[in-house]
Amino acid sequence: MKPISSKVLIILAFFAIYIIWGSTYLWNKIAVTELPAFFLASVRFLCASVLIFAIALISGKKIGITKRQLKNSIFVAFLFMVSGNGLFVWALKYVDSGFAALLASTQPLFVLLLMRLIDNKKMKLKSIIGVVFGILGMYLLVSQQELVTDEDTLKGILLIFLCVIGWSYASVFVSKADLPKNHLVSTGYQMGIAFFMLTIVSFSLGEQWTSPFAWSSEVQWSMFLLIILGSLVAFTAFNYLLKQVSTEKVATSSYVNPVVALFLGWWILDEALTTQSLIAASILLVGVYFITSKK
């Protein structure tokens, strides 16, 4: 059998980080309508962690970890997966998936501001322009009275921004932190640790744990897709691309994912797609582009 060319693999990998990661907002939205948010995240990361370690062992990767790496992994797992995912999924109860995805696309703005505060890194002109576009886009997005209809919606928006800030700080922290060198192994530990923390939060909140056989077929499929495609395929594609193409090209997923999520939410879930949302999305994504692109 003739091996797949590297060009085809790169195209497939970009398809994965663009379409699959953009679709996870839809799958989470479907699943959270029936399952408690932290229970949902617990199951997802347990299954994904087991599969990742199985793949790592089969491929001959070393899965050892030092005490310092474990400590850093716990901190990162909390910000990335307990706050950044579990709390985010909980917020999807109150806001549309496409709207949430656009809010989440502000992450590069917060990363830039945190790097300025933490590392005292000076902002370049393009970055400043990006921040201005980003702030304007966020204002247009969250100022829509037809979407922000009650206190629950406002609570969902605030929760998402809290998640994004935590995720952004973790991104800055990871760039310098001592973690397992192999990205697959590192993610496996983070997901496994997140499972235990999410389980504690879930039981503390009194969430009801149910058997997968009791879930509706839509939720079963959503969870399957989140585990296999969202946690395994897309992540593997992401790491493959980092070794094959420039980092800034991989980073374009930051502004493609929200567009995919917004469209899928409108098409499948009949979520509102207002003119102001489209204008805000365009302005916001232009801002992200200015920040993530080079001269």
| Nearest in space to 81 (alpha carbons), one of 110, 44, 106 | 44
pTM: 0.79
CA dihedral 257, 31, 171, 83 (to 10 degrees): 140
Predicted confidence (pLDDT) at residue 99 exceeds the cutoff of 70:
yes
- What pLDDT score does 36 carry? 93
Predicted confidence (pLDDT) at residue 219 exceeds the cutoff of 90:
yes
The 10s digit of each residue's pLDDT in 181-215 is 887 888 889 999 999 999 999 999 999 999 999 99
Sign of the CA dihedral 71, 75, 80, 85?
Answer: positive
Mean pLDDT (whole number) for 217-229 = 94
Q: Are 234 and 17 in contact (CB under 8 A)?
A: yes
- What pLDDT score does 149 carry? 61
Q: Where are the domains of the chain?
A: 6-292
Q: Is 98 exposed, middle or buried (0-12, 13-18, 19+ CB in 10 A)?
A: buried
Quickly list DSSP for the chain.
-PPPPHHHHHHHHHHIIIIIHHHHHHHHHHHHTTS-HHHHHHHHHHHHHHHHHHHHHHTT------HHHHHHHHHHHIIIIIIIIIIHHHHTTTS-HHHHHHHHTTHHHHHHHHHHHHS-PPPPHHHHHHHHHHHHHHHHHHT-TTT--SHHHHHHHHHHHHHHHHHHHHHHHHTTS---SSHHHHHHHHHHHHHHHHHHHHHHTTPPP--GGGS-HHHHHHHHHIIIIIIIIHHHHHHHHHHHS-HHHHTTHHHHHHHHHHHHHHHHS-----HHHHHHHHHHHHHHHHHHS--
Within 10 A of 270 (CB to CB), how many other CB atoms are there?
Answer: 9
Q: What is the CA radius of gyration of the chain?
A: 19
Q: Return the top range by mean pLDDT from 75-84, 97-106, 249-258.
A: 75-84
The 10s digit of each residue's pLDDT in 28-65 is 989 998 999 999 999 999 999 999 999 989 988 889 99
Looking at every residue in the chain, the average pLDDT score rounds to 83
- What pLDDT score does 147 carry? 60
- What pLDDT score does 286 carry? 82
